[in-house]
Amino acid sequence: DIQMTQSPSSLSASVGDRVIITCQASQDITNYLNWYQQKPGKAPKLLIYDASNLETGVPSRFSGRKSGTDFTFTISSLQPEDIATYYCQQYDSFPYTFGQGTNLEIK
């Protein structure tokens, strides 16, 4: 299985801060990576697909990119409604796997 390692596992930031989450795959996954947001008690929501494409209707403060073998997810200006857990997910090969999640809190 491809292991997806996210960092940090938790993060506390202030409204307006730039937030960056990193995801590293245990092997090359090209750009076959997605990012999801999950709020408590809710299903995950797709934010970014193919490493850097913004899903329709998702605010432009969310972005993703590939840098070398790592993937980064950025919130350019944190808003109160962004409090959630964020997951990366690879779809390069079976079984599709997720990172362990990054729990984002407001300071």
Interacting residues with other proteins (CB under 8 A): 1, 32, 34, 36, 42-46, 49-50, 55, 87, 89, 91-92, 94-101
Cβ proximity to other proteins: between 19 and 102 the closer is: 102
Least separation in angstroms between residue 100's CB and other proteins is: 5
Instruction: Match 């964020």 to its residue by tokens.
Output: 86
Bridging pattern class, strands 10-13 and 102-106: parallel
Residue 98 has phi, psi (to 5 degrees) of -115, 155
Least separation in angstroms between residue 13's CB and other proteins is: 21
DSSP character for 26?
A: S
Cβ proximity to other proteins: between 34 and 104 the closer is: 34
**CB of 92 within 8 A of CB of 50?**
no
Least separation in angstroms between residue 104's CB and other proteins is: 15
d(CA 33, CA 15): 27
Cβ proximity to other proteins: between 74 and 85 the closer is: 85
Cβ proximity to other proteins: between 42 and 107 the closer is: 42
Least separation in angstroms between residue 8's CB and other proteins is: 15
d(CA 19, CA 53): 18
Give the residues across from 34 on adjacent strands: 89
